[in-house]
DNA sequence: AGCTTGATCGTCT
DNA sequence: GACGATCAAGCTC
């Protein structure tokens, strides 16, 4: 059987954690059954030194989980209709997390397509984008703070087939104007589930950072 | 108390 | 390629 990811993989630095999370498998119990996702796109976020982070301006009720121990889920609400999920990293008391941006469905895609009808039968679109990933796995504010390293949780992070360094790509984070120079987005080259690059959003010469 | 913006997505042109 | 949905956090007044 697959083993759970170790907290050590997340505790030291967010960039290493993001790299290590590629290829890991997120398993969630949903009403339709179980959905198993291979993570293929993630982004690293930090604290006060990261202008693109929710924790840039300190601890608040909303971002509190990001300051807690590694391995918990930080789930937040955006644009009035969507949820996005992160895996919390670094030591207790230090803000850090990795946003889960995309994954490939390894389990039976039947139940997955029931949950994501707008994918119109295309497997690559089941979990392409952070909010779609949450919809697929049924993640919402109820899951904020859930420990994905706990075998009794309804959402768990398990070790998967390793992704070779040669298959890893990095680039600027999507939709983050601040800190554009930081190539803190990691993805698996060639995966159909990775968010397509939007040239129009790039702002390489911003004065932030 | 009111205003702006957002780690987005689906639909329409 | 562009836009509207829809709401809470975080500012500003």
| Fold assignment, A8-171 | 3-methyladenine DNA Glycosylase; Chain A (3.10.300)
Q: What is the pLDDT of residues A55-102, one digit of tens each?
A: 999 999 999 999 999 999 999 999 999 999 999 999 999 999 999 999
Q: What is the pLDDT of residues A25-62, one digit of tens each?
A: 999 999 999 999 999 999 999 998 999 999 999 999 99
Q: Round to whole Å and give the CA distance between A95 and A75.
A: 14
Name the residues contacting strand B (CB < 7 Å): A 43, 45, 52-55, 66, 74, 78-82, 84, 86, 97, 99, 116, 118, 125, 129-133, 135, 173-177, 195
Instruction: Count the residues in chain A.
Output: 209
Q: Is the CB of A63 under 7 A from strand C?
A: yes
Report the candidate in A121, A117, A155, A151 with the shortest Cα–Cα distance to residue A36. Answer: A155
pTM of the model: 0.92
């Amino acid at each position: 059987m697959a083993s759970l990811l170790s907290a050590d993989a997340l505790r030291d630095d967010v960039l290493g954690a993001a790299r290590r999370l590629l290829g890991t498998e997120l398993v969630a119990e949903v009403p339709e059954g179980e959905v198993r996702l291979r993570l293929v796109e993630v982004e690293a976020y930090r604290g006060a030194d990261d202008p693109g982070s929710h924790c840039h301006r300190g601890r608040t009720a909303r971002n509190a989980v990001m300051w807690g121990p590694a391995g918990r889920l930080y789930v937040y609400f955006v644009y009035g209709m969507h949820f996005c999920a992160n895996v919390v990293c670094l030591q207790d008391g230090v803000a850090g997390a990795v946003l889960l941006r995309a994954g490939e469905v390894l389990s039976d895609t039947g139940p997955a397509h029931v949950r994501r009808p707008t994918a119109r039968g295309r497997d690559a679109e089941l979990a392409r984008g952070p909010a779609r990933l949450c919809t697929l796995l049924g993640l919402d504010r109820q899951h904020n703070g859930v420990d994905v390293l706990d075998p009794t949780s309804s959402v768990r992070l398990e070790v998967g087939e390793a992704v070779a360094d040669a298959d890893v790509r990095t680039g600027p984070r999507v939709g983050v104007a601040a800190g554009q120079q930081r190539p803190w987005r990691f993805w698996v080259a060639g995966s159909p589930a990775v968010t397509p690059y939007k040239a129009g959003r790039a702002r390489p010469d911003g004065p932030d950072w």
